[in-house]
Structures are given as structure tokens and as C-alpha cells.
Amino acid sequence: MKHYMFAMVCLLLVTACKENTSSLEIAVDEKLLLNAIKIISSDDMEGRFFGTEGNYKTQAYLAQQFDSLGIEPALTAGSIQKFPHTFSGKSRQRRYPIINPAEDFSNVPDTTIIGGNVVTMIKGKLEKTIVITAHLDHLGVKEGEIFNGADDDASGAAALLAIANYFKDKAPQHNLIFAAVDAEEIGSFGCTYLLENFPIPIENIVLNVNMDMIAHNDASELYASGLYHYPQLQQPLDALKGSKIKLVYGHDDPNDSKLDDWTFSSDHRVFHKQGIPFIYFGVEDHKDYHKATDTFENINQAFYIEAVRLIIEAIEAYDSFLVSTSKDVL
């Protein structure tokens, strides 16, 4: 009997600990994360501009990494969702110039480029789905200089791998779709195509978690933006504890004169326009933002690891929280 009681107490203690998981206990594969951001932001990927060799190489790398983690493609055609984008007139001339364009660009022929989103899924117990996004493209090479985009947004793309790796054996409630989307820098064309050609009915999407620039902040502050629009999503974030970095809310109120409104600043806007709630994780702009100096050497590695840990904790919290919250309530 004594032994039985002792066993019961131990079981209760274990259960209690599990319920109070703090972010410090969440195991992030740091090696996988840092290796991936280093590769995605390496000179080899040539700044990942839409439609370039370096961009295609990045798609292939991400697809292969998801595959080696055992994460299945979300689409029957495989994990790379190819899509066409046609440049016309002025925008075509800017990117692929012809000699002697007419003033109204009427003699500039259209050019269609094939892009690619890398889309994978961990099946949940429910039909409802959380979509986790980050963009794989960046600014490419300008005047001979490679814009490596380590923070923007190799950090988010590499985080997708670490997050998928964390959840792969966890049997989440919701389907978790991981989407490394293309062509964010030129107008979120990849994310738009993804939502128009989604592997499941988009009515089943209960949340978008978008990550764009999560690896570089000297004050150790990470923003969770979007609560102005979706205040019902705050409670699970408030409950997060134990992080070494500071989670800050804001950058989502059009009436706030002090902070820029980030509601339409990255791919989460594509979900927002469809009325799908989003939380966007990102840092304040910094000295290397959209510069050739946004390199692996200039990120804050310790901050980045903690940011990913915190985002995993947030996704885990939402995975439980949203089960009891119907989309109508949201």
C-alpha cells in the first residue's frame, strides 16, 4: 500500500510538472537550427531572390531537410508547390529590362517565372489546422553584393525545421502545416498562391503563426503582433513563462502613433485578409535590415534559440487553447 501511495504521488508530481512546462524545458535542437540558418543565409544561396538558382537551391534544401526529419509533404505532388508569377509592364522592365522600352511599357513582353513554396504537414487529431509560415526568398544580389538575409528571413525558414522537429513525435491536436513561402519580398505572391491552392479547405485554418526576422535584437525583445485584431489570442501568450527573452505585444494598431503598424508587413496579411487570425513573431528593424550585412555572423544566436523556444511554447499553448474555441467565436 505504501509503495502504491508513493507511486501515486510520483505520478501526480510528473503530471503536475508536465502541465507547467516552461519554455526552459522545451528541447530545441540548437545544432539543427543554427546549421540550417547558416546554410540558408550562406553565399551559396545567393540571397535567394525569386526565380534565381539560389532560391531554387533553398527550396530543395528545405524540402530535403523536412524529408530527412520524416515530415510528410502537405500536397500530393510533393513538398514543393510550384507556382507561376507573371511580370508585366513596368515591373517586368524593372527586373528584366529590354532596350528602348516605350513610355507606357507597351512594348515590354510579359515574363512568367516559376516560384516554389515548401509545404509539409504533421497530421493532428482534428481537422482544424494551424499554419506556420516563414518566407524563404530574399533580395538576391545587388551590384555584386550578396544580400544573405540571415535574419530576414533565413531565421524563420530555419525555425520551421526546428519547430517541425519538435512536434513530429508529439501528436498535436491540430494539423500543423509548415510553409516556407516564396516571393514575400516582391509582394507575398507565394503565400497568396498557397492560400488559393491550399491542401485542405481554408475554413479549417484556425490560426496563422508567421515568423519573419526572429534572430536579431540586442535588447532581447521579440514582438508578438496581431492581438489588436485578435485579442482573444492573448491569453495563451500571457500564460507563457520562464523565457529568458522578453515577449512584447504591439505593432498592430493603426492608431498607435509611436509604433509602426505591421499588420500588412509580411505574409500574415494574406491570412488576415481572409479573416484568419494571425500572430506574427518578429523583431524591431535593426541596423542590418535589408542590407548586405544581414549575415549569420550578425544575428544574436542565444536570442534566436530562445525566440524559437518561445514560439514553440506559444504553438503548443494554442494547440490546446484553440481546441475549445470554435472558429465562430474567434
Cell of 268: 500574415
3-class secondary-structure state, position 81: strand
Q: Alpha carbon 278 to chain centroid distance? A: 11
Q: Does residue 151 interact with Zn ion by CB under 5 A?
A: no
Closest CA to 140 of 149, 132, 153: 149
Please name the amino acid found at residue 171. Answer: A
Q: Which stretch binds Zn ion (CB under 5 A): 64-72, 151-159, 189-197, 279-287?
A: 151-159
Q: Which is nearer to Zn ion, 105 or 289 (CB)?
A: 289
Q: Which stretch binds Zn ion (CB under 5 A): 148-156, 215-223, 278-286, 291-299?
A: 148-156
Q: Which is nearer to Zn ion, 23 or 41 (CB)?
A: 41
Q: Does residue 319 interact with Zn ion by CB under 5 A?
A: no
Contact (Cβ atoms closer than 8 angstroms) between residue 174 and residue 128: yes
Q: How far is the CB of 285 from Zn ion (least distance, A)?
A: 11
Encoded one letter per residue, x for contact with Zn ion by CB under 5 A and - for no contact, window 181-220 reads -------------------------------x--------
CA 99/CA 101 separation, integer angstroms: 6
The label of the residue with cell 539543427 reads: 32
How many residues touch Zn ion (CB under 5 A)? 3
Work out whether the CA dihedral 324, 327, 329, 330 comes out positive or negative. Answer: positive
Q: Which is nearer to Zn ion, 121 or 157 (CB)?
A: 157
267: buried, middle or exposed (CB in 10 Å: 19+, 13-18, 0-12)? buried
Q: Does residue 152 interact with Zn ion by CB under 5 A?
A: yes
Q: How far is the CB of 266 from Zn ion (least distance, A)?
A: 6
The correct pick among 46, 137, 151, 153 for binding Zn ion (CB under 5 A) is 153
Q: Which is nearer to Zn ion, 82 or 290 (CB)?
A: 290
Backbone angles phi, psi at 114, to 5 degrees: -95, 120
Where along the sequence are the contacts to Zn ion (CB under 5 A)?
152-153, 212
